[in-house]
Amino acid sequence: MWQNKAEEKRQSLFDAIPTDWILSKDISDSLPKNLTKIPLNCGILSSLDIEITEIDEIEELADRIARGRYSAVDVTTAFCKRASIAHQLVNCLAEICFVEAFERAKFLDEYFRSTGGKTLGPLHGIPISFKDQFEIKGRETAMGYIGFLGRLAERNSILVESILQLGGIIYVKTTLPQTIMAGETQSPLLGVTLNPWNRSMSSGGSSGGEGALVALKGSICGFGTDIGGSIRIPCCVNGLYGLKPSSGRISYGYVKNSFDGQESIASVIGPMTRSLKNISFLLKSILDLKPWLNDPNVCPLPWRNDLFNEGQMKPLCFGVIRFDQCSQLSPPVQRALQMSIDALEKSGHQIVEWDTTDFPQAIEMAIKLFTADGGKDVQEALNLSGEPLLKTAIVGKPEDEISVHQYWKLNAMRRDFLLKYAEKWNQSQNLTKTGRPIDGFLSPIHPLPAFPSDFPLSAGYTAVFNFLQLSLVILPITRVDLQLDREIDSYRNSTKLNEIDEVYKNFYDDPEKFENSPIGLQVVCRRFEEEKAIRMAMILENALKSSFYSE
């Protein structure tokens, strides 16, 4: 029975946690809504563990290791302990590799000692987490499917190898939803992953395990994947920074996936972390290894300082997206967007309202591409165990299946749409004071600040940018304010545009339901403009800080 296999897997994860790292019954039986302070106060972490895991910037942690203040074993111990606590609180781990992690840490410490204080690379001694799509040799990659249990990876994914080459340590893989094609993280295999800021809410998906783990500081940085919002939604609801690059910038080599072979809208890999600086540091470090030599699907684009510097031109012009033509923004998200607009204008940047009337056409084509196989790929995986399909997954039905010829025509339509969108973007120079096209977009990620499990989701603010293959950065802006976000009548009583919009508006009945929930936005640039998007996100963050301190 699939239920027994799922229970055995869950128990094996719990058994992999040392008994000294198990939360007391008093704590586990009386959890508050906000779980983020429990690791600090549960008595499991030493003062050194807390000092290490409270560091948000990889470069700072790496520098302390390089100066001998911490050993790799110290750092590994701290993150393994905190990841264990996080799993007990929110159910975020899919694989626990502590034994291998400590072997690696001891090797790194011996290397440091024997070379007179040299480090193996810029990530020397830094534990990095991975979503359970990445292959780690000798470990399962179940991807939320019970039928995939027992399949052991024969090699590491190329990105895993890159992290090891840079001196990193692999210690956990994190939860994702069955099928991967869902905006929350739930599976019959491992259950539901909760949001640490508000455990009545979802951690998002499909990279929700990474989002929850990093938010609880059980990881300084992890890697997720994104095909329709799967990095952005978890970053948004967990208060994190993230990068959704264009396809071909970071290697997807030997990474498992649902819909394997569907490349019209490619899934991409990006970091999820608590510091914007970590994104540029990691991307540059990975690109310095020239991954295109090992993966021909990676474009030979090294880190480009000129493009990074282009993102700090003044004034910049941001196109603002307020409505995806499907779901209107709830009061907290409206406020986060307006805060950002006001801060940018105060800093001398221009804001241009962006027309999104073509978004529904892009989303319609995206859904057709995602469901073109009629659900055969997912059904084959389900048939291995007999487990049921979760209702939140975006999966085709038999009547959605299309012919090869129809698929070709759909790809041609997408190609033409991209050409027209590039033309539209170029013509935006007529709207800007600078005389050049809009530099990038400022966009919401989701209409609500948070949502519970089994909640219907719209990806209108996210999937369109996968369809367009654009580069973007996610950053946290603010949190739900129980006073400022109480003016709900105009939102709830406005015209219900469709079934999803009605569900959203009905759900937002009291801001206290969303207490502690972070709100994030995304800065969107053209294809392969990751460096510029990072810099523009820095400009926005600095503008928000300046605006806050000047008030």
Question: What is the spatial distance between Cα 321 and Cα 460, in angstroms, rounded to a whole number?
Answer: 11
How many CA within 13 A on the CB side of residue 44? 24
- Two tokens at 324? 């995806």
DSSP 330: P
Distance between CA atoms of residues 473 and 445, nearest Å: 11
CB 153 within 8 A of CB 139: yes
Query: 331-346 and 530-550 helices cross at what angle (nearest 10)?
Result: 90
Q: How many residues does the chain have?
A: 551
Sign of CA dihedral 435, 437, 439, 441: positive
Under a CB-based contact definition with an 8 Å cutoff, are residues 160 and 130 in contact? yes
Q: Produce one character per residue of 227-257: b if its CB has 16 or more CB atoms within 10 Å, e if not.
A: bbbbbbbbbbbbbbbbbbbbbbbbbbbbbbb
Helix, coil or strand: residue 315? coil
For the four alpha carbons of 413, 417, 418 and 419, in that order, the dihedral sign comes to positive
Question: Beta-strand (E) ranges in 308-446?
Answer: 317-320, 350-353, 440-444
- Going by their DSSP bridges, the two strands 191-192 and 186-187 should be labelled as antiparallel
549: tokens are: 């301190």
**What is the largest distance, in Å, between two alpha-carbon atoms of the chain?**
69
440: phi then psi, degrees, rounded to nearest 5: -175, 175
Active site residues: 131, 206, 230
